[in-house]
Structure 1
Amino acid sequence: MKSVKSGKDRVVLDTSLFVNPDVRYDFGDSPTEAIKGFLVIAEQIPSLEFYMPSSIFRELLNFVDQRKIPGRLLAILHQKSPSKHELSCPAFLLYELIEDIRDRINKGLRIAEKAVRNAG
């Protein structure tokens, strides 16, 4: 989605980009190194703006050595929470979410039923 003010495409980041081993190795071997690697790449893409909700940013700081994080992170990664009252979501995503929740609940119920049968 393009920002009206700057005309740049906006990218919202999550902690998993830097913490999940399957994803972060493209940027670095540890969460701290992944942030550094991300910064190198992000600085080369001026057409993008990077955002992260402040709650997610605080969570990310639990996984990294804050002393080794370059100060330019705050210049590149904007901390901004989404406006909950102005957010729009395609119905397809809502249906997918509901279906996923149903599947998880049903799976949990099947596991619980099996455990009860095996116990008694």
Structure 2
Amino acid sequence: MLAKQRFVLDTTAFTDTQLRDDYGEGDLSKTVDAMLDLIAKSRIKLNISCHMPPITYKEFTDYMSRYECPDETLVKAETWIVKKTPNRYDTKIPSEIFYEYVQDMRERMNKGMRISENGIWEAAVESMVMMSRGTQKSEIEAKVLGKAITDFRKRYRAALRKGTLDSAPDLDVLLLAKELGAGVVAADEGIKVWAERLGLRFLSAKSFPQMMEEYLQHYD
């Protein structure tokens, strides 16, 4: 029996755009089906098991349902993905990691506040200039405020969410991987950053199926 390898999968391990191009011709259902076939073969032949926390698994299946993945694919997912809730009480995380996370979030919030202030000033100045020229209120709202809100959302989201943990499913993936001593598979930059800080093995969504194919090629 080969030594057991475990991996904890984020939803992005299946939904990454590059992965869809490589394994599903751009189609999510085909991609997920191909991935699950690889996971099944690797489980039987190579003793590789793939896990998801229940909250992440629900996020994954909800996503599949929105794209109308066939029932057969959902059955495969239920069969080959191991669902397990991480032990949030006993899993030990170094206090330095918690300190770094708090510092990171504080810096992001400060950056978000500066983005908010700049956005308000820019919109206010442009609105006043247009009013002084006799521009109608409806036109100001359409040209200035609508654009300001769109730009603000984009910049604010990038400042606060890109490269960090921003959801319970993300955190559960890392906690379960830490508990199991497993690798982490994702296409999420925040999960990658914090997986590496926790000393966990990380594989990108693109490289994970390539690894399994390489293993299976040599097994056969």
TM class by shorter chain equals: 0.7 to 0.9
Equivalent of residue 15 in structure 1, options 2, 11, 15: 11
CA distance in 2, matches of 1:86, 1:75: 28
Task: Tell me the residue number matched to 1:4.
Answer: none
Unaligned runs of 5+ in 1: 1-6
Whose RCO is larger (CA < 8 A, sep 6+)? 2
1:30-76 CA-to-partner distances (Å, cap 9, x unmatched) read: 33222211112212323321111112112112222242415232222
- After TM superposition, which residue ranges in structure 1, 4 or more long, deviate above 3 angstroms? 22-27, 90-96
% of aligned pairs identical? 25
Q: Does the Cα contact within 8 Å between 2:54 and 2:84 map onto a contact in 1? A: yes
Mark the CA change 1:70 to 1:112 in structure 2 (over 3 Å): closer, same or farther.
Answer: closer
CA distance in 2, matches of 1:72, 1:112: 46
TM-score normalised according to structure 1 size: 0.74
Structure 2 counterpart SS, 1:97: helix
> Relative to total residues, which structure has the larger helix share, 1 or 2?
2
TM-score normalised according to structure 2 size: 0.44
Task: Tell me the residue number matched to 2:83.
Answer: 79
Aligned length: 114
* Cα root mean square deviation, aligned: 2.5
CA distance in 1, matches of 2:19, 2:101: 22
Task: Tell me the residue number matched to 1:40.
Answer: 37
* Structure label with greater radius of gyration: 2
Q: Does the Cα contact within 8 Å between 1:51 and 1:77 map onto a contact in 2? A: yes
Unaligned runs of 5+ in 2: 126-220
